[in-house]
Structure 1
């Protein structure tokens, strides 16, 4: 089989790179997602080359050709060639000699099949000759790709023991590429070794989970994960109720054209801001992500779209609407936020003093009253705010005289 034509294959800087790295002599091939996604006629985000050349030889060739190279992972045989069209990771063929579930000790090799055998799934072990496009398939990955079958290379239990993150990757790749039920042997192995996830850093779990939640429809796969106790060791808060909320949200996001992995994580959690804060901290999410997650699950926030957006921001307001609004009010609420930016109150305390208020707490209280009326009237223009201000200043003056 031949790799189909694709725009990325004709980039001059890439053609030059594979020439320098001996593609014509069979020393380098395209590997991984670029091959898989091109076969599926999907956009290619990242480019990876595997080579029989050792890292020092790769560095020397690139430097001699005046191609910028960064030694991003020399211990594991990886350097990054910085091209005008974008970075390309170049990794020397290798095989594992020791693994502990998180890290691997490797030795370099010139055996293409041995290098392919250390990859996780058959669909990820395909490689292609950069010049002829010939596909090399050692583990029936082409048949699995055609069938929508995500399958471990070799014994699933052993592959998970080598790298525990493969549990989450199994489900992410099934959600993206799989059709029907997950591979039975792979599913059984992931369920049997689910406790291995506890040995992973929470950052790696968060990254993989958010990637899974970014696929078009992660709901069916999350249902399988919950039913088989996959997430229970690290995220026991996620249950069937969360999966039902996720499925409802995905349908709404699809209609609105607004998918968000973080919002989908919020759907999986119970409506409890304190619990969401705890989960966000456990997953080592950024401060901005933590705040957004807690706001998204707050069951006490008002649902009026523009006042909500004014109070917590457009992004969080959309989260709340998509998660909590009724089917009847959601379309109107989302439409009201299109091309709308929360405005600033067009009056300040200094102007209230000029209108006759004495500086002090009364100014802040009056400003708050003006703001409440401005919000209730759907953010009218400065002329209307001036009229509201005159009324509130007059009211404050009368109260002071009593």
Structure 2
């Protein structure tokens, strides 16, 4: 490891980081960068989240940060994690740990001052890389750098043991492979296939979070294809079948052709049969908005055109529906949904009595406005005049 250092990266110059390192005595080896920031920097990727590992106990971390005028939020202090906020920069600071007991869902930890012991409890070799904040020296006990170079996602030690400690690592293995991997690690794959039923013990929220991240990863299509073929989804999402994988493949190609960013809910809608969308959304405990999108995504393009669909279903929902049925969504890219430039009060001012006739006539105005391609207010006024006249005549003749 001698001579291997972390490359320069923009994130290392973020405001407030030097103060955190000083507060946690990083210049004396008491704190090191760890995990995704180190991994992604070595891969030349942008860094979103910054994690810092430290030998200081959680209470000492809080005391040191606050003494330096840095905000310390005890977000997961029972497991050793404190969120540090300095000059707008957010860093997750975690005390070195070792597992005392695990049940596949939760872990009981003890704090440690041993860097290798902390690294050994992590999931994959590429996530167990540490870097000195002053010199950039890389610390790698399990071949993480070699695995990064080979684009190989590999469990630390025995894959079966890593999965027994936390069953979510099955899904994480595939998600990380979809993001970083090339040839899949055979030993890790075999363990995930053998232990797929362990996923049934996890909360549906944890499964949903991993699945939605996986679905937008660069290699999502071949990885999901592999997962379906090997039965990974069967214990928790039996609705995902070969037909769904075919639909996902076609959808991903359409997204790329249209220049539309991958979307996890849209891709999930492709994977599950329309008749199963409501049940899947409920089981995964998706938000109300995401459940609605999932259910409506396969409703088809309608017969009024893309802009009309975008107005009625919302631009996001319309793009879902167009892409999933094989129609062209490009007319909606960059299009802003207009607002009907008239309200019920204007119809009352034209002589319509307050009540259900106003809402009914306003819908007539809106439908004509949509059909005519969203004309400006002057034309809408004329449409309103005609609609009110028709409503009043109908009332008189009733």
Aligned partners of 1:371 and 1:317: how far apart in 2? Answer: 18
Q: Distance in 1 between matches of 2:72 and 2:82?
A: 7
Residue number in structure 2 paired with 1:137: 140
SS of the aligned residue for 2:232 comes to coil
Q: Which residue of 2 aligns with 1:188?
A: 190
Q: What is the distance in 1 between the residues matched to 2:11 and 2:241?
A: 42
Structure 1 residue 296, shift from structure 2 partner = 1.2
Matches within 5 A, 1:65-76: 65-76=68-79
Q: Which moved more, 1:101-110 or 1:382-391?
A: 382-391
Shift in CA distance, 17/391, structure 1 to aligned 2, threshold 3 Å: closer
Aligned pair 1:27/2:30, yes or no?
yes
- The residue aligned with 1:16 is 19
Relative to the length of structure 2, the TM-score reads 0.92
Q: Alignment partner for residue 176 of structure 1, among 157, 176, 179?
A: 179
2:202 and 2:302 map into 1 onto residues whose CA distance is 35
Query: Can you list the C-alpha shifts for 1:24-65, whole angstroms capped at 9, x where unaligned?
Result: 222211110010000011111111111122223222322322
Structure 1 residue 271, shift from structure 2 partner = 2.6
Aligned to 1:254: 256
Residue from 335, 339, 348 that aligns with 1:343: 339
Q: CA offset at residue 356 of structure 1?
A: 4.9
Alignment of 1:31-180 (within 5 A): 31-180=34-183
2:370 counterpart residue number: 375
Q: Please say which of residues 219-228 and 88-97 is displaced more in the overlay.
A: 88-97
Aligned to 2:268: 265
| Paired residues, number | 393
What are the Cα deviations for residues 84-129 of structure 1, in whole angstroms up to 9, with x where unaligned?
1422111111111210001111112222111111000011111111
For the 8 Å contact 2:53–2:96, the answer to whether it is kept is yes
**Distance across 2 between alignment mates of 1:91 and 1:189:** 29
Contact 2:308 2:370 in 1 (8 A): yes
1:284 is the counterpart of 2:272: no
SS state at 2:100 partner:
strand
Provide the rounded CA distance (Å) in 2 between the counterparts of 1:269 and 1:305.
Answer: 24
The 5 A counterparts of 1:230-249 are 230-249=232-251
Aligned equivalents of 2:137, 2:344: Cα separation in 1: 72
Query: Deviations along 1:274-325, whole A, 9 cap, x unmatched?
Result: x212211111111111112212132485572111112121111111112114
Could you tell which deviates more after superposition, 129-138 or 288-297? 288-297
With over 3 angstroms needed to count, the CA separation of the structure-2 counterparts of 1:356 and 1:244, relative to structure 1, is same
User: Where does structure 1 lack aligned partners over 5 or more consecutive residues?
Assistant: none
Query: RMSD of the alignment, in Å?
Result: 2.1
Matched, 1:215 2:217: yes
Report if aligned partners of 1:313, 1:342 keep a CA contact under 8 Å in 2.
Answer: no
